[in-house]
């Protein structure tokens, strides 16, 4: 799934992120920021903001807040889910599974290389009964990319949420 739509709208309305920071929009000069609102890379000339975000539906010790990049103004297009966003297929990613206890399943963290089989790796994790969902993150910065949950018991689907950081 993508970022929570209501929370995104609240950010665009108030200009305040999950940590209470006031956004400082900037114009992207070169493009290539991985946007988490629409799950594509930015284009030169777009107005962006780096914001602190918690991509969790609850609060707790594992529900961390971290930086992501979004459009500074409301944008339209949304990732449709069901597949890994194109922008992350060419980037190394960490698959971070969470158990139903809302903790990281440390023994099953995985690194996926560019053009590695990220779809299969995600499906394998979601096949594990005790895994509730998987977050995909940048392996160096830890910035959040998107999250995947099961659509139904027989079919895993990718729902993209967002996180941050170049490449
Ligand atoms: Zn956007």
Q: What is the pLDDT of residues 79-126, one digit of tens each?
A: 777 788 888 888 899 999 999 999 999 999 999 998 889 999 999 999
Q: How far, in Å, from the CA of 40 to the mean position of ligand 1? A: 8
In angstroms, the CA 135 to CA 128 distance is 15
| pLDDT above 50: residue 161 | no
Alpha-carbon distances of 31 from 16, 34, 54, 90, 151, rounded to whole Å:
24, 9, 24, 16, 33
pLDDT (tens digit, 9 = 90+) per residue, 116-142?
899 999 999 999 999 999 999 999 999
Q: How far, in Å, from the CA of 20 to the mean position of ligand 1? A: 20
Q: How far, in Å, from the CA of 133 to the mean position of ligand 1? A: 24
pLDDT-derived band at 1 (thresholds 50, 70, 90) equals: low
Q: How far, in Å, from the CA of 57 to the mean position of ligand 1? A: 21
In angstroms, the CA 167 to CA 165 distance is 6
Arithmetic mean of pLDDT over the chain: 88
R_g of the chain, CA atoms, integer Å = 15
Q: How far, in Å, from the CA of 76 to the mean position of ligand 1? A: 7
pTM comes to: 0.83
Q: How many angstroms separate the first and last alpha carbons of the chain?
A: 21
């Amino acid at each position: 799934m993508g970022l929570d739509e209501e929370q995104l709208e609240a950010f665009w309305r108030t200009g305040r992120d999950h940590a209470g920071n006031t956004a400082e929009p900037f114009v992207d000069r070169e493009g290539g920021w991985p946007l988490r609102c629409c799950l594509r890379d930015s284009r030169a000339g777009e107005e962006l903001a780096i914001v602190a975000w918690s991509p969790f539906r609850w609060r707790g010790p594992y529900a961390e807040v971290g930086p992501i990049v979004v459009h500074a103004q409301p944008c339209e297009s949304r990732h449709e889910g069901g597949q890994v966003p194109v922008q992350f297929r060419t980037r190394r990613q960490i698959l971070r599974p969470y158990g139903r206890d809302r903790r990281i399943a440390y023994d099953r963290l995985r690194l996926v290389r560019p053009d590695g089989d990220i779809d299969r790796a995600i499906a394998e994790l979601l096949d594990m009964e005790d895994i509730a969902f998987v977050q995909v993150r940048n392996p160096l910065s830890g910035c959040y990319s998107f999250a995947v949950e099961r659509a139904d018991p027989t079919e895993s689907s990718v729902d993209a949420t967002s996180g941050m950081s170049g490449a």
